[in-house]
Amino acid sequence: MPKQIFSLFISFFLLSCGYNHEPIIQSLIADPEVVEPGGIVILTCNASDDEGADSHKDDNLTYTWDAAAGTILQDYGGSTASWTAPAILGIFSISCIVEDPDHGTDIAMVNVTVQ
């Protein structure tokens, strides 16, 4: 009997621990991809977090946007933002990091040309 209780305990423990599936960014879109200095680009990050067997778990994703130049304004939903191009010409990379509550992450980058 103690062996059966131990086996039941181990099974329950393993099933309740779960496994964190990291979020996956399907696409990072910049619209338009070519802009004049001071122009505005709309950014959209399409990401998901399929928890598989743990699908009952509500993974709210957070989005962190970054660019070396220009200004990013993030919308309240997080998955969209706008970028105001700097006053200089060039190709600029914009990144989006998506993170789930268990610190699983994915990152994507998109280039925008200012001309």
**54-58, 74-78, 87-91: range with highest mean pLDDT:** 87-91
Locate 93 and state its tokens: 């990379």
Q: Which domain holds residue 79?
A: 20-114
Instruction: Say how far apart CA 20 and CA 52 lie, in whole Å.
Output: 9
Structural domain count of the chain:
1
**5-19, 54-68, 75-89: range with highest mean pLDDT:** 75-89
Q: Has residue 10 been placed in a domain? A: no
Q: Residue 76 belongs to a domain with what CATH number?
A: 2.60.40.10
Q: Has residue 102 been placed in a domain? A: yes
For residues 54-71, average pLDDT? 81
Locate 37 and state its tokens: 């200095």
Q: Has residue 67 been placed in a domain? A: yes
- In the numeric block, the tokens 């131990």 are attached to 6
- From residue 60, alpha-carbon distances to 8, 21, 91 in Å are 32, 13, 32
How sure is the predictor about 60, in pLDDT bands with cuts at 50, 70 and 90?
confident
Q: Is the peptide bond before 32 cis (omega within 30 degrees of 0)?
A: yes
How sure is the predictor about 75, in pLDDT bands with cuts at 50, 70 and 90?
confident
The pLDDT tens digits for 92-109 are 999 999 999 988 999 999
Helix H segments across the chain?
A: 2-17
Identity of the amino acid at 60: N
Would the pLDDT of 16 be above 50?
Answer: no
Would the pLDDT of 14 be above 50?
Answer: no
Which residues partner with 108 through β-bridges?
96
Of 12 and 108, more confident: 108
